[in-house]
C-alpha cells in the first residue's frame, strides 16, 4: 500500500519513513513517522509488501505526528512502516466528517479553501477500535487526492454493528 496519487505544489517537501512495526496475526499495531524540527506534516501513508494489512487511521494526531493504525487480516505477523511528507510552509487542516451506518461503505471528501492547493490528506474513525479483529471497525480503502488540486477523498467501510463517525482531513497550502 502507500500513496496512490501525486499532489503537486511549488513548495519543498521531504518524505520521512518511520520505524517498521510488526502487526501480529489477527491483531493490530500503530506506526508513526515524524517530521524534522521546523517542518510540519503535509500528508503521508504507510508502506508494506503485504496485502493483508489495512488501516483504520492515517492522519496527523494531536501530537503533530503522522499516525497509522494497522490491522492484520491474516494469521501470521506482517510488518509495515508509516511515512510522512513534510514541508516548511504553513499547512491548514480542513476537516469534514460523515457517519457511516453499520456495514455502509462510502466516499467523502475534504476541500481546501479558494486559493489553496492540496498537499495531502488523511482520515480516522475514533470509535472504530471496537471492531472485531482481524478487521478494523472502519477500514480506509482509499486515501488520495482528487483529480482537481483542491480536495482529498477517502473511501471507507464500517465493519461494526453501530454507526461510526469518519473524519477526513485535507492538508492545504497557498504555495
> CATH number of the domain that 144 lies in?
2.60.120
**pLDDT tens across 115-171, in order?**
998 888 999 888 765 444 445 688 888 888 887 778 999 999 998 888 999 999 999
Tell me which residue range forms the domain holding 28. 13-173
The single residue listed with the C-alpha cell 491483531 is: 27
Say what the pTM is: 0.81
Q: Which residues pair with 122 in a beta bridge?
A: 169
How many structural domains comprise the chain? Answer: 1
Q: How many CB atoms lie within 10 A of CB 111?
A: 18
**pLDDT tens across 86-115, in order?**
999 889 999 999 999 999 999 999 999 999
Is residue 3 domain-resident? Answer: no
CB 68 within 8 A of CB 131: no
Q: Which residues pair with 44 in a beta bridge?
A: 84
Is residue 141 domain-resident? Answer: yes
Is residue 164 domain-resident? Answer: yes
Is residue 2 domain-resident? Answer: no
Torsion angle of alpha carbons 92, 84, 159, 168, nearest 10°?
10
Is residue 156 domain-resident? Answer: yes
Is residue 6 domain-resident? Answer: no
Amino acid at each position: 500500500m502507500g500513496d496512490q496519487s501525486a499532489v503537486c505544489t511549488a513548495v519543498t517537501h521531504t518524505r520521512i519513513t518511520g520505524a517498521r512495526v510488526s502487526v501480529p496475526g489477527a491483531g493490530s499495531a500503530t506506526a508513526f513517522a515524524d517530521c524534522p524540527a521546523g517542518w510540519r506534516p503535509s500528508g503521508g501513508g504507510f508502506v508494506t509488501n503485504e496485502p493483508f494489512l489495512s488501516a483504520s487511521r492515517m492522519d496527523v494526531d494531536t501530537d503533530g505526528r503522522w499516525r497509522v493504525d494497522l490491522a492484520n487480516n491474516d494469521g501470521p505477523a506482517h510488518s509495515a512502516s508509516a511515512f510522512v511528507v513534510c514541508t516548511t510552509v504553513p499547512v491548514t487542516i480542513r476537516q469534514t466528517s460523515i457517519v457511516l451506518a453499520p456495514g455502509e461503505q462510502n466516499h467523502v471528501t475534504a476541500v481546501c479553501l479558494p486559493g489553496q492547493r492540496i498537499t495531502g490528506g488523511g482520515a480516522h474513525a475514533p470509535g472504530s477500535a471496537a471492531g472485531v479483529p482481524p478487521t478494523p471497525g472502519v477500514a480506509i480503502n482509499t486515501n488520495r487526492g482528487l483529480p482537481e488540486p483542491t480536495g482529498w477523498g477517502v473511501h471507507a467501510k464500517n465493519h461494526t454493528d453501530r454507526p461510526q463517525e469518519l473524519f477526513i482531513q485535507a492538508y492545504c497550502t497557498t504555495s
